[in-house]
């Protein structure tokens, strides 16, 4: 696919630039990683931003421009949408492996999602459902294939992949963070279709900055990338025996299976943890605490965007001579974001805060990821190099379980059947912190292992299988979370959270016991 830049002919400056462009590094990683970082960032901005708006819009009264749905119905649609976006990656991965290659699939996916957001912004009934369908299909083309491309930048540098995927994951969460914060805010304060439209505009920016960045990728992501003729990524130079390929695929299956337990518990964030935040947590602020919250919130808003802008600056400094148009579009999109952020912050600093909104806790996860991912990335490339994949998975699961342990402890003073309470916010903050640390041990690392263990010709399909676990987990999370009221009436709320402490911890211990077998089946992949 042509990308609008000068066509390179052998020996021309454009070709030399293209080759040099691939070699250009930002923070010791190929600069292409950061193009993928920002593309994924805008995609996740639109995904999470639109998700944050979806329920608010559906339950808002007709007079307020919403559809006046019951909360339960809105949550069911939310659950299905949140799950189905993880079902289609299997098809998108297969299409890329067999027909289009990753790069074209990412472009098609981003285009479908841009149209999907545009369709939602029209706000009629048919366009709304069409929009959701386009988003689900678009994500299927986009998500497995952009994930696949990250690892392909690291030919012969297997040891750096965990670190690379952790940086990529920071991009994911920078998008989630900004999307949740800004789309919901714009939707509620200015108008629903502006919120939906905002998600669409930034998806389009993401698409353009990716489309015009081909010089940093060469043949990476193309269907006929010569490297895809090599069977696996272990650099032995020999075709591995079918048994080795089979066993490695089996390890991906085991990792994906255990990941179901992780996301099932983790995704309580959007359900039972939000109920806990809204009805059982003391969120009223008085005196100095109101001021402390206003300023904490200010920092929480500004720090991540400053960090990401710094990354943007480094990327532009290194790559402007190769991909000026892509850089300019990215810089322009950031300019708009900064304007919206400044407007939001100004409004908030001048308002009197007397209550922490229940939805505020939802951004803690993304905030902690952005703050901690650089440390984890360094650790995985340095002294954490020798920790095996299964151990990282086990740790991730156990840390997640411990987060729920804090909630169970915090909820222990709530009598069975109570419909409100006022326990300290600290338990939710600690839970989100532990969940995030667990997530950094499991989720980006999981993507990295899918890349390292898959035969290249099946790479995107295997990412599709990996995301299938999120599909199952989202459904399970919705159903298990919906019993919070009946369970805590009969037993206790603390018991409910203890269940989510036990499930991941047991899964983590089993993973730890399986470690020797899994390491053997990985056949030298670390």
163's enclosing H/E stretch is: helix 161-189
Cβ distance to ligand GLN smaller for residue 373 or 414: 373
Cβ distance to ligand GLN smaller for residue 326 or 443: 443
CB of 300 to ligand GLN, least distance (A): 18
- 397 and 258 Cβ atoms separated by less than 8 Å: yes
Cβ distance to ligand GLN smaller for residue 212 or 263: 263
Sequence-ordered strand ranges (E) for 368-478? none
CB of 9 to ligand GLN, least distance (A): 39
Burial class (CB within 10 angstroms; exposed 0-12, middle 13-18, buried 19+) of 420: exposed
Structure token pair of residue 519: 């390491």
Cβ distance to ligand GLN smaller for residue 316 or 431: 431
CA distance 265 to 268: 6
Cβ distance to ligand GLN smaller for residue 198 or 264: 264
Q: What angle do CA 14, 210, 367 make, to 5 degrees?
A: 135
CB of 44 to ligand GLN, least distance (A): 6
CB of 229 to ligand GLN, least distance (A): 29
CB of 242 to ligand GLN, least distance (A): 29
Q: What is the contact surface with ligand GLN in residues (CB under 6 A)? A: 44, 172, 263, 443, 470
CB of 46 to ligand GLN, least distance (A): 12
Name the nearest CA neighbour of 74 among 478, 358, 361, 344.
478
CB of 490 to ligand GLN, least distance (A): 30
Residue number of the CB closest to ligand GLN reads 470
Cβ distance to ligand GLN smaller for residue 212 or 471: 471
Structure token pair of residue 475: 């459904």
Mention every residue, 6+ apart, whose C-beta is less than 8 A from residue 16.
none
CA distance 34 to 27: 10
Cβ distance to ligand GLN smaller for residue 414 or 442: 442
**SS3 at position 134:** helix
CA distance 135 to 119: 10
CA distance 47 to 117: 9
CB of 467 to ligand GLN, least distance (A): 6
Cβ distance to ligand GLN smaller for residue 453 or 473: 473
CA distance 119 to 438: 37
Across-strand partners of 30? 25
Cβ distance to ligand GLN smaller for residue 161 or 228: 161
Cβ distance to ligand GLN smaller for residue 108 or 440: 440
- 495 and 419 Cβ atoms separated by less than 8 Å: no
CA distance 394 to 473: 17
CA distance 454 to 156: 15
CB of 520 to ligand GLN, least distance (A): 27
Structure token pair of residue 143: 């998500």
Name the nearest CA neighbour of 275 among 57, 435, 48, 485.
485
Cβ distance to ligand GLN smaller for residue 18 or 469: 469
CB of 191 to ligand GLN, least distance (A): 27
The count of other CB atoms within 10 Å of the CB of residue 70 is 10
Mention every residue, 6+ apart, whose C-beta is less than 8 A from residue 119.
127, 128, 130, 131, 134
Which DSSP state fits 419? S
CB of 443 to ligand GLN, least distance (A): 5
């Amino acid at each position: 696919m042509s990308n609008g830049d000068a066509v390179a002919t052998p020996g021309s400056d454009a070709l030399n630039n293209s080759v040099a462009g691939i070699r250009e590094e930002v923070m010791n990683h190929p600069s292409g990683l950061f193009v993928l970082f920002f593309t994924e960032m805008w995609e996740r901005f639109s995904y999470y931003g639109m998700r944050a708006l979806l329920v608010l819009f559906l339950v808002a009264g007709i007079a307020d421009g919403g559809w006046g749905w019951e909360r339960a119905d809105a949550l069911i649609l939310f659950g299905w949408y949140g799950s189905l976006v993880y079902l289609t990656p299997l098809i998108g991965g297969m299409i890329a492996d067999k027909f289009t290659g990753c790069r074209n699939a990412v472009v098609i996916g981003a285009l479908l999602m841009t149209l999907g957001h545009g369709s939602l912004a029209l706000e009629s009934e048919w366009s709304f459902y069409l929009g959701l369908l386009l988003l689900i299909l678009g994500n299927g083309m986009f998500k497995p294939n952009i994930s696949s491309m990250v690892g392909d930048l690291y030919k012969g540098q297997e040891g750096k992949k965990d670190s690379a995927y952790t940086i990529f994951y920071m991009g994911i969460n920078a998008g989630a963070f900004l999307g949740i914060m800004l789309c919901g805010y714009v939707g509620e304060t200015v108008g629903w279709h502006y919120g939906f439209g905002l998600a669409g505009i930034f998806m389009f920016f993401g698409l353009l900055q990716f489309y015009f960045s081909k010089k940093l990728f060469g043949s990476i992501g193309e269907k006929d990338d010569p490297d895809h003729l090599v069977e696996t990524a272990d650099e032995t130079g020999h075709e591995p025996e079918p048994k080795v390929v089979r066993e490695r695929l089996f390890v991906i299956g085991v990792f994906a299976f255990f990941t179901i337990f992780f996301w099932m518990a983790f995704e309580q964030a959007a359900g039972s943890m939000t109920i806990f935040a809204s009805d059982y947590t003391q969120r009223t602020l008085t005196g100095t605490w109101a001021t402390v919250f206003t300023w904490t919130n200010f920092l929480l808003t500004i720090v991540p965007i400053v960090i990401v802008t710094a990354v943007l600056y480094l990327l532009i400094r290194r790559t402007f001579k190769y991909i000026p148009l892509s850089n300019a579009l990215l810089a322009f999109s950031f300019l708009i974001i900064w304007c919206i952020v400044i407007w939001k912050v100004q409004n908030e600093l001048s308002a009197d805060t007397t209550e922490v909104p229940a939805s505020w806790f939802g951004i803690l996860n993304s905030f902690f990821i952005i703050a901690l991912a650089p440390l984890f990335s360094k650790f995985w490339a340095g002294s954490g190099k020798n920790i095996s994949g299964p151990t990282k998975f086990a740790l991730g699961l156990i840390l997640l379980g411990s987060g729920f342990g804090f909630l169970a402890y915090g909820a222990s003073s709530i009598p069975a059947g109570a419909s409100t309470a006022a326990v300290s916010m600290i338990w939710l903050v600690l839970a989100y912190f532990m969940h995030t640390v667990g997530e950094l041990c499991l989720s980006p690392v999981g993507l990295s292992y899918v890349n390292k263990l898959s035969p290249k010709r099946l790479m995107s399909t295997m990412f599709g299988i990996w995301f299938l676990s999120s599909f199952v987990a989202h459904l399970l999370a919705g159903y298990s979370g919906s019993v919070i009221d009946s369970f805590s009436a009969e037993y206790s709320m603390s018991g409910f959270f203890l269940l989510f402490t036990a499930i991941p911890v047991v899964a983590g211990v089993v993973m730890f016991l399986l470690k020797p077998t899994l390491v053997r089946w990985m056949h030298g992949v670390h």
